[in-house]
Amino acid sequence: MQKRVTFDNRLLPYLLVTPQLIITIVFFIWPAGQALFQSLLREDAFGTSSEFVWFENFVRVIEDESYLNSFRVTAIFSISVTVLSLAIALVLAVMADRIVRGGTTYRTLLIWPYAVAPAVAGALWGFLFNPRIGVLAYGIESIGVNWNYFLNGDQAMLLVVFASAWSRIGYNFVFFLAGLQAIPRSLIEAAAIDGAGPARRFWTVIFPLLSPTGFFLMVVNIVFAFFETFGVIHAVTQGGPSKATEILVYKVWSDSFRGLDLGGSAAQSVILMAIVVGLTVVQFRYIERRVHY
Amino acid sequence: MHPMSRRTLFAAALAAGTCVAGIAQAQTEIQFWHAMGGQLGEAVNRLADGFNKGQKDYKLVPIYKGSYTETLTAAIAAFRAKQAPHLVQVFEVGTANMMAAKGAVYPVHQLMADFKQPFDIKAYVAPVAGYYSTADGKLLSMPFNSSTSVFYWNKDMFKKAGLDPEKPPKTWPEVGEYGKKLVASGAKCGFTTQWQTWIQIENFGAWHNIPFATKQNGFAGTDIQLLINDPVRVKHIETLASWQKGNVFVYGGREGKSTPMFTSGDCGMFMGSAGTAGTIEASMISKGVPVGTGFLPYWPDVKGAPQNSIIGGATIWVMQGRPKADYKGVGQFFGYLSDPAVQAQWHMETGYVPITYAAYEVAKSRGFYQAKPGRDVAIKQLTLNEPTPNSKGLRIGNFVQIRDVMDEELEAVWAGKKTAKQALDSAVERGNKLLADFARANK
Amino acid sequence: MVENRPFGTLLSHLVVLFGVLIVCFPVWITFVAATHDQAALLRPPIPLWPGSHFFENMETILFAGVRSSRSAPVAVMLLNSLVMAVGIAVGKIAISIIAAYAIVYFHFPLRMVFFWMIFITLMLPVEVRILPTFEVVSNLNLLNNYGGLIIPLIASATATFLFRQFFLSVPDELTEAARIDGAGPMRFFWDVLLPLSRNSIAALFVIQFIYGWNQYLWPLLITTEESYYTVVMGISRMLNVVDAAAEWNLVMATALLAMLPPVVVVIAMQRQFVRGLVETEK
């Protein structure tokens, strides 16, 4: 993790890391420490009275049925978003790879949703599927399905999964396409000479060679679905109906901001931080070289 | 440094260092964080302009902070960081939490006394002020935008269904009957409701004079339990669920999400906030669709119904932590807000109920209710009878989450996953847990 | 191509085009919605072809603001978003490239401790530690100014990590050559490393610009003056209006404007962005 050849200087390295360090300490480690402390307290929202309760908040959170539900929802949500966006991106990348000319044009046409804010993506999809006026909702209704994501939890889940997966397709596409283009043509040609058709070539040659990219993307997408989809949930379903789309990050936020339960919410933050640290370590250990994000 | 004190210092320096006559003395700013979007927000700005033009010492600065929840959160975060605004608009379900935050809020009755502002709680409409007073009748926060739920009907659709467009249903059985006729005449839905918990559970209780929770709905203590799984409510919810068949009743989402179902002409009848009158006026009446406003329906077999409805909406809470002298300006603003002419103007512009009896009289004397029939339904319904302990209001801790619980359970009924009895039992059980938490945290 | 099969190529085109269609459809509808007046969007079926109110809507939101959310003119919000996004992108790149340089090219005590401290910040989103962070920011008097919008959000490790990855892939021979030439560490940094990092910097600029532009909750909390509102936060506020119907045409017009700058940045810097991303992966 370090260069064989390094410079010698006593002061300089410290000077160089100082700005980053100060900001990290002031705006991350200090507040995180406060969250840690808060998780052991029970207090009213304004902080005018507080009581030290040790780990009671944690016990309360873990025993809370809706917290377990939130774990389940998060799992379903993250996996669906990841699988859906990876699958679509892979299909598109494989097809685009076969096209000699126009590859970049397609990339341009596919990459931009990555730039759309989750909150805005939520607004777009919410509008498309609005049970009253949405274009797609209208289409669905007209084939006889009763579409109302305000009431139907599965439909609400479907909607936030679509909106989140949508914004990831372009990103995944870029990586898959790059991965595909890095596969030596000679390998594929050799397989072709052996008489393997396109499908067979895909499964026996291309897919295995692509799997490191796929694995990397899987981790990145799960992390995305875990933490960066707050805007989608907030703009479209607010966690409802009946907590059907209440993912962990949304629950932390909603318990502290709507519920004003600061201790319980802080306890959830601490658990979440532990998950983050765990994920980080795993990511580091096993896929060190492939992480960027 | 405190922004306010910096400004004051600056003003002092200015006064000392210059002697330019005629420069207005730097005003003290009073920050008011509110959640009024749209036309309502414009009405708030006009209110502030009026106050600012009427005197020179203070400048009221209204700041829109988003939804009620966002506004409250922002105020809490600001208070914890010692940056609280002077005034913050808090919705009625936040009342118990605000009351419990003793060092954080400045009770209105005390503020008015401290600064010798003329103030008489009897001038305020009883069910409005009562909701926000202590058990012994001391006002805690300033009533601002109060509404209640009323009944709207689409007269054109009534005609088409062969119903008398001037005669709304009075009772629930009639609502069902009318709904069926509306659907039979081609309507997509008979009726729908906004804010299902507020209208079909909370207001439903007051209107039928049955309790929502123990200890006078929480006015007499925090260690309370919900009572919403009573037979009357169970039967009511059961009936609504059964009316989903044939679209006599259609559920349109939480809070105000169902409004477009009525304004677009899908539903012939609608139970909603009196504050929606403005939207209905703009999107229906002004486009030639006549709409009637009436009392909420009731079950005729329940004794004591109809009693009176309860309010919703929000009040202005005064936050502690600003320089003492600023609060004098707050007192003056409250005086201005309660002025009959000002209050009547606010009422007429927004559709919210007037908070003082005098303002109601002013609106009457100006012929407002002749010009806009139905706009007095809300206040008439609120003051229909002297409020009982069941209909004075609700003082429920963790009310935001309890409403979420009720919403979830009701949605389970609408989706056919639970019976009304199961859902309400479970709402009571889950709600009581939240109440116990609150009682513990706020001893 | 392994085989020359026109049918296969055609099929590929069709599939990718279909994908493009799916990806673009929501934006088409957004655009269409932005070209109608409010009445056209009140009842289904809403139109699928553009109407004639596009410029009118744009003028309204850009210079007057959307009434139902009491929003500032969108032009102001766009400017704020731009300042915030550029500030975050530049700030992050600046502080993290030097930090990564120190960690990779120097040997000093506590090196790993620092690295982990920075690295831990990698993923925890602002949303879950927002109240304590807010208190810190307000104690530093950073409410309602660009400093408060920008500085707390440049505390993230993404960029440090990316630069570290890239520096590790730079051949050691370059360093050796520099040392033989007698170049000091800062000279090496400016003359050799920085030019080599062009693609990484470009990729990061895109990522962080988008990150900054797309912030929602943070600006919502720390700004109380309309003159500091950002556009993404403006949209969510337009969606959640109380007691009134959302003005979909204006909301969608704003959404269009809100996504335009980051999309332009991504597309304009596409080549460097993709190369920078994929390069550091290898």
- Provide mean pLDDT across the span B129-153: 90
Please, is A17 exposed, middle or buried when counting C-beta atoms within 10 Å of its C-beta (0-12, 13-18, 19+)? buried
What is the predicted pLDDT for the residue at C127? 67
- B47/B31 Cα distance (integer angstroms): 14
Q: Is C187 on the interface with A (CB under 8 A)?
A: no
- Provide mean pLDDT across the span B343-357: 89
Which residues constitute the domain of residue B192? 149-310+396-441
Domain assignment of residue B10, yes or no = no
- The region of weakest confidence among B166-170, C60-64, C99-103 is C60-64
Same domain, B288 and B429: yes
What is the predicted pLDDT for the residue at C123? 60
Domain assignment of residue C33, yes or no = no
- B267/B288 Cα distance (integer angstroms): 17
- A178/B65 Cα distance (integer angstroms): 45
Q: How many structural domains are present in chain C?
A: 1
Q: Is B67 on the interface with C (CB under 8 A)?
A: yes
What is the predicted pLDDT for the residue at B158? 96
C197, C272 contact by CB (below 8 A): no
- B6/B2 Cα distance (integer angstroms): 6
Q: Is C138 on the interface with A (CB under 8 A)?
A: no
- C131/A35 Cα distance (integer angstroms): 9
Q: How many structural domains are present in chain B?
A: 2
Residues C214, A29: C-beta atoms closer than 8 Å? no
Provide residues of A within 8 Å CB-CB of chain B. 42-49, 51, 132-133, 150-152, 240-243, 257-261
C118, C162 contact by CB (below 8 A): no
- Provide mean pLDDT across the span C83-112: 90
Which residues constitute the domain of residue C226? 66-281
Of C159, C156, C157, the closest CA to residue C201 belongs to C159
At C70, is the pLDDT very low, low, confident or very high (cuts 50, 70, 90)? Answer: low
Same domain, B110 and B49: yes
Same domain, B72 and B213: no
- Nearest-Cα distance to chain B for C146, in Å, is 17
- B100/B102 Cα distance (integer angstroms): 5
The complex's ipTM works out to 0.81
Q: Is C154 on the interface with A (CB under 8 A)?
A: yes
Same domain, B80 and B162: no
Residues C123, A279: C-beta atoms closer than 8 Å? yes
pLDDT tens column, A61-78? 888 888 999 999 999 999
Same domain, B109 and B182: no
Domain assignment of residue C208, yes or no = yes
Cα nearest neighbour of C107 on chain A: A6
At B17, is the pLDDT very low, low, confident or very high (cuts 50, 70, 90)? Answer: very low
- Provide mean pLDDT across the span B58-82: 85
CA atoms A138, A139, A143, A148: torsion sign: negative
Same domain, B275 and B160: yes
- Ordered by where they begin, the domains of chain A are 12-290 (1.10.3720.10)
Please, is A246 exposed, middle or buried when counting C-beta atoms within 10 Å of its C-beta (0-12, 13-18, 19+)? buried
Q: How far is CA B354 from the centre of its chain?
A: 12
Same domain, B243 and B129: no
- Provide mean pLDDT across the span C67-93: 83
Same domain, B225 and B324: no
- B278/C242 Cα distance (integer angstroms): 12
- Provide mean pLDDT across the span A173-185: 84
Domain assignment of residue B353, yes or no = yes
Same domain, B208 and B318: no
What is the predicted pLDDT for the residue at C124? 66
Same domain, B253 and B352: no
What share of chain A has pLDDT > 90, as a percent? 12
Structure tokens at A239: 């966690």
User: C270-281 and C248-268 are packed helices; what angle lies between their axes, rounded to 10 degrees?
Assistant: 60
B363, B369 contact by CB (below 8 A): yes
A119, A232 contact by CB (below 8 A): yes
Domain assignment of residue B11, yes or no = no
Cα nearest neighbour of B31 on chain C: C224
With contacts defined as CB-CB under 8 Å, which chain B residues touch C138? 78, 81-83
Domain assignment of residue B141, yes or no = yes
Same domain, B305 and B193: yes
Q: Is C217 on the interface with B (CB under 8 A)?
A: no
For residue C28, how many other CB atoms are within 10 A of its CB?
14
pLDDT tens column, B242-301? 999 989 999 988 878 788 889 888 899 999 998 888 788 878 888 899 999 999 999 999
Domain assignment of residue C277, yes or no = yes
A237, A254 contact by CB (below 8 A): no
- B96/B228 Cα distance (integer angstroms): 19
Domain assignment of residue B385, yes or no = no
Q: Which residues between 234 and 263 in chain B have a beta carbon less than 8 angstroms from any beta carbon of chain A?
A: 251-254, 257, 260-261
Domain assignment of residue C191, yes or no = yes
> Which span out of A23-32, B196-205, C156-165 was modeled with the highest average pLDDT?
B196-205
Same domain, B294 and B320: no
Domain assignment of residue B286, yes or no = yes
Domain assignment of residue B190, yes or no = yes
Q: What is the CATH number of the domain that holds B245?
A: 3.40.190.10
Of B105, A24, A238, B70, the closest CA to residue C222 belongs to B70
pTM: 0.82
Subunits that touch chain C (at least 3 Cβ pairs < 8 angstroms)?
A: A, B
Domain assignment of residue C87, yes or no = yes
> Which span out of A274-288, B143-157, C159-173 was modeled with the highest average pLDDT?
B143-157
At C235, is the pLDDT very low, low, confident or very high (cuts 50, 70, 90)? Answer: confident
**Residue B433 neighbours by CB under 8 Å, 6+ apart:** none
B17 vs C79, residue with greater confidence: C79
**Residue C282 neighbours by CB under 8 Å, 6+ apart:** C169
Q: Is B83 on the interface with C (CB under 8 A)?
A: yes
Subunits that touch chain A (at least 3 Cβ pairs < 8 angstroms)?
A: B, C
CA atoms B221, B222, B225, B230: torsion sign: positive
Domain assignment of residue C94, yes or no = yes
- Provide mean pLDDT across the span A99-113: 78
Q: What is the CATH number of the domain that holds C94?
A: 1.10.3720.10
